[in-house]
Structure formats: structure tokens, C-alpha cells
């Protein structure tokens, strides 16, 4: 899953066509590089990020989704917690809703997922992006997140969502201290009990910086190492910035994992 951020940067500030165009070109590039899904987002959810008003989020993502859906064959995912943005994105051609708030932010989200039959990424987050890294706490991070998945899948089912629509994501970096992220990545196979596909996003995240001192742009090796180990634990979707490099590493990992014999860890 290639990450397509449509957030204004210093170059295209004040020129919407330039930012949309740059995002569309970046999307095309990630598809040439082999991305199987593009995840389009107009609101940053990194630690400390401020919310973006719905109107602004719509202005950022909808033109990009509309343009890409006309010319590419890979599924497009909308990274949003707002049902209004998700609905407009589905109308513009997206078919997956990636909701880091797992329908907790607004009950209308579960209804939209149910009626649209779209794919739905259920991600775990403790708190909100603005404050989530202030003292994250768990009794047992694996058990707590498994309980969250169980509860959320039940709530979604009650709203009419089919289990087959869902993908589970432990939310690396979303209200987690270093030890929590490592515990989750080391034991990600525990979430296979739900029988749903697993997704992780580790690309360039701060736990890699905490472990290595690497700056954000220098975290590709750590991102790839975590992605490969996650896939070894049964993860089937990896959200990544660096598509070419990540795919090469995952192809090699999968070829080796395919040869694994039973009863060896």
C-alpha cells in the first residue's frame, strides 16, 4: 500500500492545482513501482498533528482520487476519520476506507461502511493524534489491542458490516511507547486468531528513530526490517512510502518464508 499524502508543502502552498498534480504524478509513479493499493490522505495523523476541517480535506483528496480512479486499476483507499470525506471519496472512485479512528470518531462511519460494502481498515489508536504520545499506557498491549479488535468487530457487525470487509491494523506509533511498538511487531502473529488480513504502517516512524537515532528521511532500512518481520508474522498489507525498495525486500522475504517447514520458528 503506497502512501499518497495530499497535504500542502512549501512548494505548492496556495496553488491547489500544483499540489493535486504533484500528488497524481506521485500516485502514478508508485503504481509503476508496483504498489497494489494507493492510500490517499489529506489529514496528517502523525503525533502532534492538528485536525483539518472537512471542507479542506475534501478539497485536497477528492480531485486526486477522481483523476487517479479514471486511469489506474489498483484499488484506491481513503485515509480519513470523517464519514463525509469517506463517502465523497467512494463516490469519486475509492473502494477502501482506512480509518485510524476505527469508527469511534463518528458512528455514521460504521453505517457508511455497512451500506457501501467498501473495504474497511480497523486501526487501533489510543487517544487522538494531537495528544496520543503523551504517556501511552496499557495493562498488556497485545491483550488490550486484541480486546479492542474483538469489541470493534462486534460493533461493526451490529451496524451491518460484514466481517469480510475488514482488515485489522494494530496502529504502530498511535499512542504507543517504543516498548509497545516492539511488543506488537514481535507478536503480530497473535492477531491471526481473528482470521482477517493484517495491515501495518511502520514507514519512517519515530520508533525507528528512537532505536537508531536516524532522522525521518534516513529510516528506510529500519522501515524495511520491520516490514519484513511483520510479514514473517503473517501481515499481508504493508503501508509504505518507498515502494520499490519495500517490494524488493518483501519479495525476498516471502520467497524465503514460502520455504519454511512446519514446527520451526
Contact set with ligand PT1 (CB under 6 A): 45-47, 79, 98, 100, 121, 123, 169, 171-174, 199, 201, 205-206, 239
Asked if 155 is an active-site residue, the reply is no
Shortest distance, position 201 Cβ to ligand PT1, whole Å? 2
Q: Considering 60, 82, 87, 239, which one is annotated as catalytic? A: 239
Q: Which DSSP state fits 165?
A: G
Closer residue to ligand PT1, CB minimum distance, 121 or 185: 121
Which among 98, 134, 78, 90 has a CA at the least distance from the CA of 116?
A: 90
Shortest distance, position 154 Cβ to ligand PT1, whole Å? 20
All three cell numbers of 73, joined, read 486499476
d(CA 204, CA 183): 18
Shortest distance, position 261 Cβ to ligand PT1, whole Å? 32
Closer residue to ligand PT1, CB minimum distance, 43 or 249: 43
Q: Considering 117, 205, 251, 259, which one is annotated as catalytic? A: 205
Closer residue to ligand PT1, CB minimum distance, 61 or 123: 123
The residue nearest ligand PT1 at its CB is: 201
Closer residue to ligand PT1, CB minimum distance, 2 or 173: 173
Asked if residues 194 and 168 have their Cβ atoms less than 8 Å apart, the reply is yes
d(CA 159, CA 174): 25
- Identify the bridge partners of residue 201 per DSSP, sorted by sequence position: 239
d(CA 88, CA 66): 10
Which among 135, 194, 174 has a CA at the least distance from the CA of 184?
A: 174
Closer residue to ligand PT1, CB minimum distance, 60 or 205: 205
Q: Where are the beta strands (DSSP E) in the chain?
A: 2-5, 38-41, 76-79, 96-99, 119-123, 166-169, 199-201, 237-239
Shortest distance, position 105 Cβ to ligand PT1, whole Å? 14
Phi, psi of 79 (to 5 degrees): -90, 95
Residues contacting residue 244 through CB under 8 Å, at least 6 positions apart: 33, 34
Asked if 70 is an active-site residue, the reply is no
Shortest distance, position 99 Cβ to ligand PT1, whole Å? 8
All three cell numbers of 8, joined, read 500542502
How remote is the C-alpha of 137 from its chain's centroid? 22
Provide the annotated active-site residues.
205, 239
Amino acid at each position: 500500500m503506497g502512501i499518497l499524502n495530499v497535504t500542502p508543502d512549501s512548494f505548492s502552498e496556495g496553488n491547489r492545482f500544483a499540489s493535486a498534480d504533484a500528488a497524481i504524478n506521485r500516485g502514478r509513479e508508485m503504481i509503476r513501482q508496483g504498489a497494489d493499493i494507493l492510500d490517499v490522505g489529506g489529514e496528517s495523523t502523525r503525533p502532534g498533528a492538528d485536525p483539518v476541517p472537512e471542507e479542506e480535506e475534501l478539497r485536497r483528496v477528492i480531485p486526486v482520487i477522481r483523476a487517479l480512479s479514471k486511469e489506474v486499476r489498483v484499488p484506491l483507499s481513503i485515509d480519513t476519520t470523517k464519514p463525509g470525506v469517506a463517502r465523497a471519496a467512494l463516490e469519486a472512485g475509492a473502494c477502501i476506507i482506512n480509518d485510524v479512528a476505527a469508527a469511534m470518531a463518528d458512528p455514521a462511519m460504521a453505517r457508511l461502511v455497512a451500506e457501501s460494502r467498501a473495504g474497511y481498515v480497523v486501526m487501533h489508536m489510543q487517544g487522538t493524534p494531537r495528544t496520543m504520545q503523551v504517556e501511552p499506557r496499557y495493562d498488556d498491549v497485545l491483550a488490550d489491542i486484541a480486546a479492542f479488535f474483538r469489541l470493534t468487530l462486534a460493533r461493526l457487525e451490529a451496524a451491518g458490516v460484514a466481517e469480510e470487509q475488514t482488515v485489522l491494523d494494530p496502529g504502530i506509533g498511535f499512542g504507543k511507547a517504543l516498548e509497545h511498538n516492539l511488543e506488537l511487531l514481535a507478536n503480530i502473529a497473535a492477531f491471526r486468531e481473528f482470521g482477517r488480513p493484517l495491515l501495518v504502517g511502520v514507514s519512517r516512524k519515530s520508533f525507528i528513530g528512537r532505536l537508531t537515532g536516524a532522522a525521518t528521511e534516513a529510516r528506510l532500512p529500519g522501515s524495511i526490517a520491520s516490514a519484513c518481520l511483520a510479514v514473517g508474522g503473517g501481515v499481508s498489507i504493508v503501508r509504505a512510502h518507498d515502494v520499490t525498495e519495500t517490494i524488493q525486500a518483501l519479495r525476498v522475504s516471502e520467497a524465503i518464508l514460502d520455504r519454511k517447514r512446519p514446527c520451526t520458528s
